[in-house]
Amino acid sequence: MKRTRSSRRRGAHPQHTASEPRAPFILRKLSTFNVLSEAGLEQIEANADTILAETGMEFQGDPEILDIFGRAGCDVDGTRVRFAPGFCRRTITATAPAQFIQHARNPANSVQLGGEASVLCPSWGPPFVHDLDRGRRYASYRDFIDLVKLHHTLPWLHHSGGVVCEPVDLPANKRHLDMLYGHIRHSDRAFMGAFIGAERAGHAIDMARIVFGAEFMAENAVLYCVSNTNAPLVLDSHMSGALKTYARAGQPVACTPWVLTGAMSPATVAGTLAQILAETMATMTLTQLVNPGAPCLMGSFASTMSMKTGAPTFGTPEAGLLVLAAGQLARRLGVPLHTVGTLSSSKLPDAQSQQEAAWGLLMSMFAGANLINHATGWLEGGLVTSFEKTIIDHDLCGKIGRFFDGIDMSENAQAMEAIAKTGPGQHFLGSEHTQANYMSALFRPWTPDDNAFEHWRAAGEKDAGARANALWKSQLESYEDPGLDPEIDAALQEYIAARKAEKPDQDYY
């Protein structure tokens, strides 16, 4: 699993001789899976239009937005905005791009967002981290950097992500600067901007300009913002401030209702879908009114809740149906789909965590999702990033990537000569065909123990979590610095120091 990788600067092509193939993203060769009929989709779309026309959506704390909607002819009543049926769809389809590239500082790692591309991103947001040595604890910036480095070594992830954990040892009002720096310094993959508030979004854009150059950035996406609605039907100024800032800079915004059905939306899939579509369309419409043609994604982070306890639940049948239908709705809007991956409410990297994780990631991939946030590591409903689960989920990322390569129908893969030569009752282990193909024919995940019981016992009777514990540590040891131009590095550090000096530390948002 060791990769050797020459240190390189932005613009240089990668020269690593990785033993693991390292694709910049998944290009799906298989179809999507559809769960709603044409009539069902039209009904959901009509319902979303009705919600937007009759109930409308609240845009709170941001008078500029109300003005933007008003000038576009929407019905603005206080902070409530109502949309004529069809207006949002027309506005989005007129100018939002169907696909685009988010550039990484290493061009080999740039990701396509849209079409048949699927980009897998690490865990986002947890204030805690967990590993089997140190248990559950508040996350620190040290953990943040370890996670950025660990993710960078993982061949089947595609993106450095954003708040891979929340470094709560840093002041809340400044840590976004350190997080952005951590991604830029320690990984050369694409990364996300700061999501909360116009000021922090502006900092992310400033720092990206230092790395990519203002000219390049004016024409290209190099950041990524997730704008969550406060379901039902509210967008607050923290989110809209960042949204406007990124949209104006031509940077992509994933307009993502976050709902637990039964709590923030009706307890039914069809009801939740209409609400999600209404919220995401209103929010995407805002991006296009702010800057027509700015990239936006339809986002959906829809799961369920326990009707017994009110706790969020993941990997459920309804969550699967929701994301698959969301994929259909996004394709009809002609925008990429942003969604979520290996979510779990488990506290440990145990059987529950993988039943839920596998369900979630597979459903999102079958939905044709273009960016999957939280494709690794999430536990406890997003409170924890687990180092071990990161490794175990990463196997799943690799498997699903290989799966969506589809079936090789080349003459070599058809193996007709091998079958004829081997003949009935013989085995293929020693056949020329097997010898020629065994390195590449079958995907090899890292964590499973496939050995006989006796070997497994002799190796210490380790479960998958214990094996993953050894793996993340060896991966972290194998991390190789991708390098960063010292001038860029110095400029970033200078910028960060200046921003930090502007105000006192605060431990709240």
Interactions with its own copies, residue window 435-474 (CB under 8 A):
437-439, 441-445, 447-453, 456, 461, 463-465, 468
First to last CA, the chain: 41
Enumerate residues 6+ apart whose C-beta is below 8 A from 213. none
Single-letter amino acid code for the residue at 507: D
- Is 408 among the residues that bind its own copies (CB under 8 A)? yes
The site string for its own copies over 167-186 (x = CB under 8 A, - otherwise) reads --------------------
C-alpha span between 200 and 184 (Å, rounded): 16
- Is 6 among the residues that bind its own copies (CB under 8 A)? no
Q: Smallest distance, Å, CB 114 to its own copies?
A: 22
Q: Smallest distance, Å, CB 430 to its own copies?
A: 10
Cα 442–443–447 angle (5° rounding)? Answer: 135
The site string for its own copies over 243-282 (x = CB under 8 A, - otherwise) reads ------------------xxxxxxxxxxx-xxx-------
Q: Smallest distance, Å, CB 373 to its own copies?
A: 20
Backbone angles phi, psi at 209, to 5 degrees: -65, -35
Q: Is the peptide bond between 232 and the residue preceding it cis, with omega within 30 degrees of 0?
A: yes
For the purposes of burial, counting CB atoms within 10 Å of the CB of 412, is it exposed (0-12), middle (13-18) or buried (19 or more)? middle
Element at 314 (helix H, strand E) = none
Judged by CB under 8 A, the chain residues 102 through 161 that form the site for its own copies are 136
Q: Smallest distance, Å, CB 380 to its own copies?
A: 6
Judged by CB under 8 A, the chain residues 184 through 243 that form the site for its own copies are 230, 232-234
CB 19 within 8 A of CB 246: no
- Is 407 among the residues that bind its own copies (CB under 8 A)? yes
Within a 13 Å sphere around the CA of 321, how many CA atoms are in the beta-carbon half? 16
* CA-based R_g, the chain, Å: 23
CB 293 within 8 A of CB 259: no
Judged by CB under 8 A, the chain residues 272 through 331 that form the site for its own copies are 273-275, 304-313, 315-318, 320-321, 325
CB 329 within 8 A of CB 274: no
C-alpha span between 403 and 423 (Å, rounded): 29
Judged by CB under 8 A, the chain residues 343 through 402 that form the site for its own copies are 345-359, 362, 366, 380-381, 383, 389, 392, 395-396, 399-400, 402
- Is 508 among the residues that bind its own copies (CB under 8 A)? no
Cα 48–52–55 angle (5° rounding)? Answer: 115
- State which residue, 417 or 505, has the beta carbon closest to its own copies: 417
Q: Is 301 helix (H, G, I), strand (E, B) or coil?
A: strand
**Paired sense of beta strands 253-261 and 296-299, if any:** parallel
Length of the chain, in residues: 509
Instruction: Please pick, from the candidates 8, 28, 36, 192, the single residue that binds its own copies as defined by CB under 8 A.
Output: 36
Q: How many residues bind its own copies (CB under 8 A)?
A: 127
**Paired sense of beta strands 100-102 and 80-82, if any:** unpaired
Single-letter amino acid code for the residue at 221: A
Q: Smallest distance, Å, CB 305 to its own copies?
A: 7
Instruction: Please pick, from the candidates 414, 474, 493, 506, the single residue that binds its own copies as defined by CB under 8 A.
Output: 414
Stretch of 27-35, 118-126, 171-179, 197-205 contacting its own copies, by CB under 8 A: 27-35
- State which residue, 68 or 363, has the beta carbon closest to its own copies: 363
Instruction: Please pick, from the candidates 12, 34, 140, 171, the single residue that binds its own copies as defined by CB under 8 A.
Output: 34
Instruction: Please pick, from the candidates 55, 95, 220, 478, the single residue that binds its own copies as defined by CB under 8 A.
Output: 55
Stretch of 160-168, 238-246, 412-420, 482-490 contacting its own copies, by CB under 8 A: 412-420
Stretch of 15-23, 177-185, 416-424, 469-477 contacting its own copies, by CB under 8 A: 416-424
- Tokens matching residue 12: 């240089």
Q: Smallest distance, Å, CB 159 to its own copies?
A: 21
Stretch of 3-11, 31-39, 249-257, 367-375 contacting its own copies, by CB under 8 A: 31-39
Q: Smallest distance, Å, CB 416 to its own copies?
A: 6
